[in-house]
Chains A and B, each alone.
Chain A
Amino acid sequence: MSAQTTPGFLVTVGRLVRAEILKLSRYWVVLTGFVAIIVVAIPGAVLSYRGEQAMNVTSASGYEFAFSLMVRSLEFSSTILFVILCILFSIDVANSTIKVILTRPVTRVELLVSKYAVAMLMVLATLALLWTACLGAGAYYYGLGDLRENEYILFGADMMFRNIAIASVFLALAFGAQAALAVTISTYSSTMGGAIIIGLILHSFINALNVLPKTLGFTIGSGEDATLIPYAIVAFTSQLHVPLGRLDDLTAGVPIESWWTPDVQQLVVVCSTASLLFFVLALVRVRNRDFTL
């Protein structure tokens, strides 16, 4: 006989996540999506560099080149990722495998939580892939050491990478909210095509209205000179760490010493609330749905 004890919540979620990864890692649609994410970044890097060469301008550093490439790649990748996440639940409904899963010792809540966990893993994988590609390109073309001006070290490499890590957390939070929306859409659809179409429509609206502030950042300057520096671009988490390209245009010594700015606070509140709301909507749907497929 099989195991006699009923597995706990975390054990079951862990098993579900493992099964989901086993499945998705062999699904050509998902693999194609991730290949596309990389494929966009790498030729993008080559084209950006050649464009800079042709215009006789150069990025101030490998970091700036990487950040610039990152923001362009993110625009495209977020759509691909959103589409992939839209099928996360509907793939099981469309293939009727939901009835196989739910006739195993798996509750609906555990199944839903595992889908969100996988969605977040995919967000983190996407960010990791993009950072690898973008920073790799930055290192290849310009190098990624300490940022110097003349003989002075402006920012050490350790500080740069620490700030990249902090900014990535916020990016993951913003992308996580989008991922939560995608999974929620997926729970309301019985077909993968339907989930993708509705997902793309909502994704366009969200981007157009900036509902989920994935481009929130901090403001440099004031009045007419105020410039919003999106986190997606800079990966700098404080006005003290302004991209070098902008330093010449700024008054020296911007008096903010913390990255926990109102904009960041707003991002955290909005994205967390949105994620929670989407999760509750999905939970209501999954708990009450009759799987009559």
Chain B
Amino acid sequence: MGGEAAVEARGLSKRFGGETAVHSVDLEVAAGEIFGFLGPNGAGKTTTIRMLLGLIRPTTGTASIFGKDIGREFKAAIRHVGAFVEGPAFYPFLSGRRNLRLFGTLSGGASEDRIAEVLEWTGLTAPADKRVSGYSQGMRQRLGIAMALLDEPRLLVLDEPTNGLDPQGTREIRELMVRIRAEENTAILVSSHLLGEMERVCDRVAVIARGRILQQGTLDDIIGDASERVELGVSAEATAQATAFLRERFATEATSTRAGMIEFSRGTLDLGVVNRALIESGLDVHQLTPRRRSLEQAFVTLTGEHSSIR
């Protein structure tokens, strides 16, 4: 990557008591890119982000933001950052606008124009003068993001920004990230366990599980590492027979995803040959579809986990 890195972490580890939550994490986020930090719940995403922002002290390792060490030059490093860490946080007895004004004071005072702009971006112009205690979860989430955007940051850190949002809200956040990057050239570090969403916006991702970075790179690096998958549709009764046939005849790891549907790795197989062999063995082929692996599938392959991701 050329130029100054927005985030650079080297060997970040964190122990809580006898338990190591994060093991020697190396991360690099380039200026102006959208970087996805992916992992299931409890993988160590939020702990890593807290260390990057100085909210908790790393047991070992260093982190810097635009070349400034977060431990030694905290104020110089953090002044370029807008952060939304693990859920929104406000004073519920104040309105959304007053919360923005109040937290803006800490950085020297946000202009009313800027407050209006971030409220408009997050769709909160109408309820801005109502007390936050009356906001829905989605509105609070969006206000949290508005707060992170307030100081025109060069780096936006969003930790699970779509938690608690409906599909429409999730789509809006996704579009907002793309817009912010396009309009303000802001680097965005976004953590999520919603892989489908991340796949659509991220330039690069890092996959973390059980406190360790498993892989880091472009989506093509991660998804393209595995060969394409193939989906085979047969009658429900023939599922077991077809699965066994594929394993024996083509030595491929075929698995039944549900009655009548089988998935297998394509590898170097010629699908025409596979189709002919299935028919000649007396199986009715309803469907034989090559499918590129999704980020989610790549993730499951990498981590062996799937219970807490979508």
Contacts and interface: CB of A to CB of B under 8 A. Distances in A.
Contacts of A7: 75, 108
Of the four ranges (under 10, 10 to 19, 20 to 34, 35 or more), the interface on chain B belongs to 35 or more
Most central of A3, A16, A102 by chain B CB within 10 Å? A102
A19 B105 contact: yes
B107 interface: yes
A95 B89 contact: yes
Interface in B65-81: 74-76, 78-79, 81
A105 B73 CA distance: 10
Nearest to B108: A3
A32 interface: no
Contacts of A98: 89
A152 interface: no
Interface stretch (B92-100, B210-218, B231-239): B92-100
A18 B105 contact: yes
B102 A103 contact: no
Contact of A19 (B79, B85, B102): B102
Given A2-B152, A26-B93, A27-B93, A291 B87 contact: no
Task: State the main secondary structure of chain A at its contact with B.
Answer: loop
B152 A104 contact: no
B50 interface: yes
Given A291-B50, A292-B50, A101 B74 contact: no
A2 B109 CA distance: 10
Given A95-B92, A96-B89, A291-B55, A22 B102 contact: yes
Contacts of B89: 95-100
B147 interface: yes
B204 interface: no
A98 B154 CA distance: 22
B15 to A, nearest CB: 11
Contact of B152 (A1, A12, A99, A107): A1
Interface in A1-45: 1-3, 6-7, 12, 15-16, 18-19, 22-23, 26-28
A100 B103 contact: yes
Most central of B57, B108, B147 by chain A CB within 10 Å? B108
A290 interface: yes
Contact of B105 (A15, A96, A290): A15
Interface string A98-132: 11111111110000000000000000000000000
A107 B72 CA distance: 11
A26 B133 CA distance: 14
Nearest to B79: A105
A2 B105 contact: no
Interface of B: 47, 50, 53-57, 74-76, 78-79, 81, 83, 85-87, 89-94, 98, 101-103, 105-108, 147, 151-152, 154, 157
Given A1-B152, A104-B103, 10 more contacts: A3-B79, A6-B75, A15-B105, A15-B107, A19-B105, A26-B94, A102-B53, A105-B75, A106-B106, A290-B55
12 contacts: A2-B152, A3-B108, A12-B106, A15-B105, A19-B105, A26-B98, A95-B92, A96-B89, A97-B89, A102-B53, A104-B78, A105-B78
Shortest beta-carbon contacts, A-B, top 7: A96-B89, A290-B56, A103-B83, A104-B106, A19-B105, A105-B79, A105-B75
